[in-house]
Amino acid sequence: MRKLTLLVGSFLLGLGAYAQQALWGGTDLVSPQINEDHTVTFRIYAPKASKVEIEGDFLPSTRTDTPFGLQEVPTRAAFKEGKNGVWEYTSAVLPSELYSYSLYVNDLKMPDPNNVYQNRDVATISNIFLIGGGKADNYMVQEVPHGTVSKVWYSSPGLGMKARRMTVYTPAGYEDGKKKYPVLYLLHGAGGDENAWSELGRATQILDNLIAQGKAEPMIVVMPNGNGGQEAAPGEAPNSMVKPAFMNSKTMDGAVEKAFPDVMKYIEKHYRVYTDKNHRAIAGLSMGGFHSLYISAYYPDKFGYVGLFSAATSKQINKGVTSDVYENLEDKLAVQFRNAPKLYWIGIGKTDFLYKDNVDFRKILDDHGYKYTYMETDGGHIWRNWRIYLTEFVPLLFK
């Protein structure tokens, strides 16, 4: 009995020590530290390091060839070693924005051990920080009424799946009311999933803040998984704990576009929503822009508002694929614009590798006299632009 008591006592002491490690095991370093002048200081304790660097989207970028064309790649900046093994780097003055970064210690990439705020983009984990006082105020949690974010499962006969997951945002007050709402279907890009817009895109914060400011109509936002071969995000469906991939199965082969009514059917059955064209919008980034273009053209009577954010617009992006979804696009556009959407919105960065595709697509629209709204920004194929586009697009909906 005494041996058992000692054993239990030792276990509890060990457990207590482990808990204290978890609670107090970190250092008292602050990183990142947002300074009053909007510079940012980063720190890391690395007494045995010979080199510490930082890579982030707030640093100058360089353009490099990739399988998808010229892409902007951030450069690195060097830390300086200080006292007691603490390395430090202070940035230039930064404008209001959400930024991401990673550290390199002796060329080994790692997260900032003093910053618990992280995002996953495909298979890359990066730390994040926000600088307020400008456009990033819309990306922050503010003292305003908050909507609800739900992860819901629906049946998709069109994709041969009994259960697939999507993220649904309902505006503040939805649960306590009886009114109907318009719907924005918001689609992610290649490598993303149903978590991308709510996490990387800050869609929840953007909607909360714009609605509270009176700049946007209260609406339901549906963020489905655009990878037709996935039930849900990696690690969040049965047998799905695999390394996330940039290109997944059944993404740009026509299957997702054809099966999109399965998403709409679930939403219109389970939520208080209007079901006419002028109370529905569809928008997406990159691959999601490709989906939005072709879904809205394939179902021309479904969407009164269309948004293409850095969209893949050319069939060359999935050349070799045959589907009636992608055939005779100009004929489909003619039908769609015969009863034109209230808004057809296009945004692209000046250095985006899809810039020329967007120029060519706009020429088709111009040649036929189809009206659209166009926004051109600095930068390339990056979340910074897509958050801007969402912030500009949402206030134009359902007016």
pLDDT in tens, the chain (399 residues): 444 444 444 444 444 433 333 444 456 899 999 999 999 999 999 999 999 999 999 998 887 766 556 667 778 999 999 989 999 999 999 999 999 999 999 999 999 999 999 999 888 999 999 999 999 999 999 999 999 999 999 999 999 999 999 999 999 999 999 999 999 999 999 999 999 999 999 999 999 999 999 999 999 999 999 999 999 999 988 988 888 888 777 888 999 999 999 999 999 999 999 999 999 999 999 999 999 999 999 999 999 999 999 999 987 676 778 899 999 999 999 999 999 999 999 999 999 999 999 999 999 999 999 999 999 999 999 999 999 999 999 999 999
Q: pLDDT at position 327, please?
A: 93
- Residue 13 falls inside a structural domain: no
207, 260 in Cβ contact below 8 A?
no
Per-residue pLDDT reduced to its tens digit, 246-272: 877 788 899 999 999 999 999 999 999
Residue 3 lies in a domain: no
Determine the structural domain holding residue 157 and report its residue range.
Answer: 139-396
Whether residue 152 is found in the same domain as residue 80 = no
Q: Are residues 193 and 331 in the same domain?
A: yes
The answer to whether the Cα torsion of 12, 18, 23, 29 is positive or negative is: positive
| Statement to judge: residues 210 and 97 lie in one domain | no
Residue 114 lies in a domain: yes
Same domain, 79 and 185: no
Instruction: Please give the tally of structural domains in the chain.
Output: 2
Residues 33-53 as b or e (16 or more Cβ within 10 Å = b) = eeeeebebebbbbbeebeebb
Give the pLDDT confidence score for residue 14 in this predicted structure: 43
Cα separation, 276 vs 173, in Å, equals: 22
- Looking at residue 216, its pLDDT comes to 98
Owner of token pair 């457990």: 15
Residue 341, pLDDT score: 98
* 97 and 238 assigned to the same domain: no
Maximum CA extent, the chain: 90
32: preceding bond cis by omega (within 30 degrees): yes
Token pair 């992280």 is found at: 118
* Residue-level pLDDT at 62: 80
Are 188 and 310 part of one and the same domain? Answer: yes
How far apart are the C-alpha atoms of 347 and 284, rounded to whole Å? 11
Closest-CA residue to 234 (of 148, 121, 153): 121
Position 68 scores a pLDDT of: 57
Asked whether residue 19 is assigned to any structural domain, the reply reads no
Residues 76 and 171 in one domain: no
pLDDT of residue 79: 98
Q: What is the pLDDT of residue 23?
A: 44
Residues 249 and 291 in one domain: yes
What CATH number is associated with residue 57? Answer: 2.60.40.10
Same domain, 317 and 371: yes
Structural domain ending residue among the three candidates 112, 133, 154: 133
pLDDT at 250: 83
Decide if 2 is inside a domain: no
- Tell me how long the chain is: 399
Q: In this structure, are 164 and 198 located in the same domain?
A: yes
Whether 16 is covered by a domain: the verdict is no
Cβ-contact 186, 203 below 8 angstroms: yes
Start-end of H helices in the chain: 2-24, 196-199, 203-212, 255-270, 287-298, 329-338, 355-367, 383-393
185 shares its domain with 299: yes
Which pLDDT does position 249 carry in this prediction? 79
pLDDT in tens, 236-245: 889 888 888 8
Q: Of 133, 151, 182, which marks where a domain is finished?
A: 133
- Looking at residue 314, the DSSP 8-state letter turns out to be S
Q: Are residues 122 and 152 in the same domain?
A: no
